[in-house]
Structure 1
Amino acid sequence: MTHELQLRSDYWYDDGSVIIIVEETAFRVHKSILSQHSDVFADLFTIPEPAARESESLEGCSIVHLQDDLHDFTQVIKAIYKPFYFDELPQNADLRKLLGFISGILKISTKYNLTRIRQKCIDILQGKFPTTLSGCEELVSSGYQYNATTVVSAIPLARETNVPEILPWAFYISTNIDTDTLLADPVLSWRDKALCLAGKSQLWERQKEDTHKFLFEFARPSDCRHMCSLRLPQMTWKHIEDLRKRPHPLHEYDDWDSLGLCHVCLQRVQDQHAKGREKVWNALPRIFHLGTWEEIRKEQNR
């Protein structure tokens, strides 16, 4: 039977070979182009239509109905037909705009296995959610500012689209949200809220024991000849309480001169600080019960 359409999308090519209908909106596109991007589409176009729709067509094109979000699907079609579509996202875009731009594309490209487009979305995400300590340092030094309440929206997106590599840093930033606000957040699942709160407690312990221990409890090495332990300023209760509420063990301490340490003690403390930060970074996925970095990379790439 023939089919009449109420609404045509902007992507209606007269030489298109298939009509895809999403939420009553039709896209007349090319089987060959979509098949080049997606083996799922390639298989879809070769599977015989069910008997009830075997003769459903319009202008000589077969019709395929997809149960997807119209906005998300439109964004993917744009990414397919416009080679430089991703250039429309400003390099300095804030996280809210960035997530708004790629979320739908990532969801659809994951569902239909559009590998090139999906990887482009992942690359953009990992530019803001580092997966190495050096990447973290580079991002922090660039002055990039996070809004923690926006960051939390990346967590369910990563879960849905199997991009677990961005989760450790996303959870880390999300620990800056106060408990009441976090618990009231409508986006995060209760499981992820619990992981965030438990991880926050662990980050505090890591900061005290691994990365900034010298600020809490300084042990003078045996080869120190200058009584440095007597000169090192102890943290005030207020500073300790502020850190407990918003732990940041990956913060790179740089106010070394204020400590008044001799060369021997300063070198020892700086080495401990650097090793502690590396230790925390390596443990970051486990802190939030995500496995190890190696495990989540394998999961993402399978």
Structure 2
Amino acid sequence: MNKITPLHKRGDPWFDDGNIVLVPEDSSIAFKVHRDFLSRHSEIFKSMFELPTPTSEVPLLDDCQVVPMYDLPFELSNLIKALYDGTGPLEDFLYTAGILRLSTKYFITRLRIQAIQHLVQTTSHIHMSILYMSSTSLGRTNVQVIIPSVLYFLTLYHLSDLLSGNHVKLQVDHPSCPSADLSPQDLQAYTIMYQERIQIILRFIRHTCGERTAVHGCQSSVTCTKAFTRVSSRLSRTWRVRTGPLSYMVQVSDEVAEHDGICGPCKRPFRQDVTTLREDIWRRLPSVVGMSSWEELTKNDMPKP
């Protein structure tokens, strides 16, 4: 005789014409869905639903087979709804992190790629920090393409603050909020990227600005050279440890463009050189922590169909 499970709270989604019920572990919430639909999107789901179970031991709920799930109800609900209706509020970082985790776990390539595509465009420093915590501590998502930029932004925070996990964004009461634990490998990568970030700033101040000479066609080579020297001197006194070099370079370029002591012929190549330098720094960022190129990382994490 089949085992009738106690009535659970109907979760979202719950389809009256569904033919299988998913029940997260240690949860009173159940999701009634369509076996074939989920199987079509995930080989893992298909295999789970096909596992042989003695007929007499199959638990039933609402006349449907019950399948235990080892996921957070909140994240499982979001995953199922994303399969049926498309992804939800990707701008909600923790929502996206949950989708990434479960789409990776259940080999749902479409949702995984959508989540990764959104995350690589994330520019919020603290979101990048949470993303690193999530991907290393809880995620088990094996997403490599986000790591170089995440590490870059992570180094804008003091290590002691990261280890304590006391930032307000890390204390949000949310099912998908990650742990603040960092592994020895994480700490090593953080340190290497931190040192490189500082060196980038110093090289920019001392060489790109401080050793700048007048270009051909300069209207006053002595005046422009002295002006760049003064700019470098001021920057060397005012930069901060938490300065992000990529945005910092744009700010300096804009300041030089407005500088009365530098002529137009010298301003234009300086802006172009800064643009080229920023592009080169970004291109080389993965190699700082021993990773493949952006192109290779993108190819591996977001393969084209």
TM-score bracket for the superposition, by shorter chain length: 0.7 to 0.9
Cα shift readout 1:214-269 (whole Å, capped 9, x = no counterpart): 33333445775621322334257774355350242212221223162334433432
User: Following superposition of structure 1 onto structure 2, how do residues 1-302 of structure 1 map, counting pairs within 5 Å?
Assistant: 1-10=2-11, 11-23=13-25, 24=27, 25-49=29-53, 51=54, 55-81=58-84, 83=85, 86=88, 89=89, 98-129=92-123, 146=124, 148-159=125-136, 160-185=140-165, 187-190=180-183, 191-209=185-203, 213-220=207-214, 226-227=221-222, 228-235=224-231, 239-240=235-236, 242-251=238-247, 252=250, 253-255=253-255, 256-258=257-259, 260-301=261-302
Q: For residues 46 and 285 of structure 2, what CA distance do their matches in structure 1 show? A: 40
Structure 1, unpaired ranges of 5+: 130-145
Shift of 1:284: 1.3
Contact map agreement 2:205 2:232 (CA 8 A) in 1: no
Deviation at 1:68, TM superposition (A): 1.4
TM-score (norm 2): 0.76
Aligned residue type for 1:226? S
Q: Which amino acid aligns with 1:254?
A: D
Moved more, 109-118 or 175-184: 175-184
| Equivalent position amino acid for 2:144 in 1 | P
Q: Distance in 2 between matches of 1:243 and 1:210?
A: 11
Kept in 2, the 8 Å contact 1:16–1:29? The answer is yes
Instruction: Indicate the residue corresponding to 1:134 in structure 2.
Output: none
Matching residue of 1:139: none
Report the Cα distance in structure 2 between the residues aligned to 1:4 and 1:84, rounded to whole angstroms: 31
AA partner of residue 187 (structure 1): A
Q: Please tell me the residue identity of whatever aligns with 1:71.
A: F
How far residue 3 of structure 1 moved from its aligned partner, in angstroms, is 2.2
CA distance in 2, matches of 1:211, 1:108: 45
Equivalent pairs counted in the alignment come to 275
4+ residue runs of structure 1 moved beyond 6 angstroms? Answer: none
3-state SS in 2 of match to 1:205: helix
TM-score (norm 1): 0.77
Q: Is 1:20–1:27's contact at 8 Å kept on the other side of the alignment?
A: yes
Structure 1 window deviating more from structure 2 (240-249 vs 195-204): it is 240-249
- 2: CA distance, partners of 1:241 / 1:76: 50
In 2, the alpha carbon distance for the partners of 1:75 and 1:53 equals 32
Q: Indicate the SS of the match to 2:74.
A: helix
Residue 200 of structure 2 contacts residue 245 of structure 2 at CA under 8 Å; is this kept in 1?
Answer: yes
Q: Describe the SS at the equivalent of 2:230.
A: coil
Q: Report the 3-state secondary structure (helix = DSSP H, G, I; strand = E; otherwise coil) of the residue aligned with 1:108.
A: helix
Residue in structure 1 matched with residue 173 of structure 2 by the alignment:
none
Residue number in structure 1 paired with 2:172 = none
Distance between the aligned counterparts of 1:299 and 1:212, measured in 2?
38
Preserved CA contact (<8 Å) 1:207 1:213:
no
Q: Contact 1:210/1:277 (CA < 8 Å) preserved in 2?
A: no
CA distance in 2, matches of 1:111, 1:262: 58
* CA distance in 2: counterparts of 1:289 and 1:181, whole angstroms: 25
**Are 2:39 and 2:46, in contact at CA under 8 Å, matched by a contact in 1?**
yes
Shifted more, 157-166 versus 13-22: the winner is 157-166
Matched position secondary structure for 1:250: helix
Cα deviation digits, residues 182-230 of structure 1 (max 9, x gap): 3433615143233223212212222333588333333445775621322
